[in-house]
Amino acid sequence: MRNYSLTVNDLVIEAAFDEENIETIFYPLLKKWTKLQTYKGKRIFVFLAAPPGCGKTTLALFLEQLSKNTPDCTPIQAIGLDGFHYDQAFLNSHSMNMDGQTVLMKHFKGHPATFNVPLLIEKIKAAQEKDNWWPIYSRKLHDVVQDQIQLTEKIILLEGNYLLLDTPPWNQLQEYCEDRIFLSTDTTVLEERLIQRKMLGGLSYEAARTFYEQSDKRNVESILASDHHADTVLYVTDGIFQLN
């Protein structure tokens, strides 16, 4: 295993990646993206989609670091989708349909309908032509903060849950990317991680499980159903990646 220090959500974590995975999966992906960018002659986007709790942010940041330490590869810049949530004021004042009922968006934050996809498309199109600034989601403020990260590299690895969904407006995104990666793992592992994540946020076990059953579970199912759009599907078990 090869160890890396990565900053995830303002926290430095230690992550380990298998040497064989690096040689047989990750280096080839970086070289593929380098060739794609060279052929296009301008900035390209690569999508990394995965259910929540799968480790996509850690993987994206690892690939960014690996690319910058690999001389024959074009450096990539990893960025997350979370900055494209609608802001909290919007979620507090707008409704959505859920199982035939009209509910405030704030109660289902993280659902596909709570993201500003038109703004994301606008930002991607602009970034293909020149450097621009992207929003982030602040876990301290629990809200979106605009214009916090400048896109500067020629290859942008955008990671998020819903990037490969079939449903509009998400299905409009795929024409703006050059390669698609899907990351998956055992659904039981995802369930445990997502419940634990909510408990770390202050919920009781019962409340965390209820949230999982009412929100996270259906999101996970819809995301897993989008893997057929990927050019590469990876399955991870105990830190070891396999090509599916």
Number of domains in the chain: 1
Give 152's contacts (C-beta < 8 A, 6+ positions apart): 77, 131
* Mean pLDDT confidence for 183-193: 92
Per-residue pLDDT for 244 more than 90?
no
Per-residue pLDDT for 235 more than 70?
yes
Q: Tokens standing for 220?
A: 């996970």
Quote the mean pLDDT of the chain.
93
pLDDT of 48-81, one tens digit each? Answer: 999 988 999 999 999 999 999 999 999 999 999 9
pLDDT score of 5 = 82
* Mean pLDDT confidence for 26-40: 98
Q: 14: domain range?
A: 2-243
CA gap 118, 110 in Å, rounded: 16
| Cis upstream peptide for 169 (omega within 30°) | yes
pLDDT score of 140 = 83
Grouping H, G, I as helix, E, B as strand and the rest as coil, residue 150 is: strand
pLDDT score of 178 = 97
pLDDT score of 9 = 67
* Mean pLDDT confidence for 215-223: 88
Per-residue pLDDT for 224 more than 80?
yes
Give 146's contacts (C-beta < 8 A, 6+ positions apart): 133, 135
Closest CA to 178 of 41, 24, 71, 22: 41
CA gap 162, 45 in Å, rounded: 15
pLDDT score of 141 = 86
Q: What CATH code is carried by the domain that includes residue 62?
A: 3.40.50.300
More confident residue, 90 or 15: 90
More confident residue, 55 or 99: 55
Angle at 61 between CA 58 and CA 67, to 5 degrees: 135
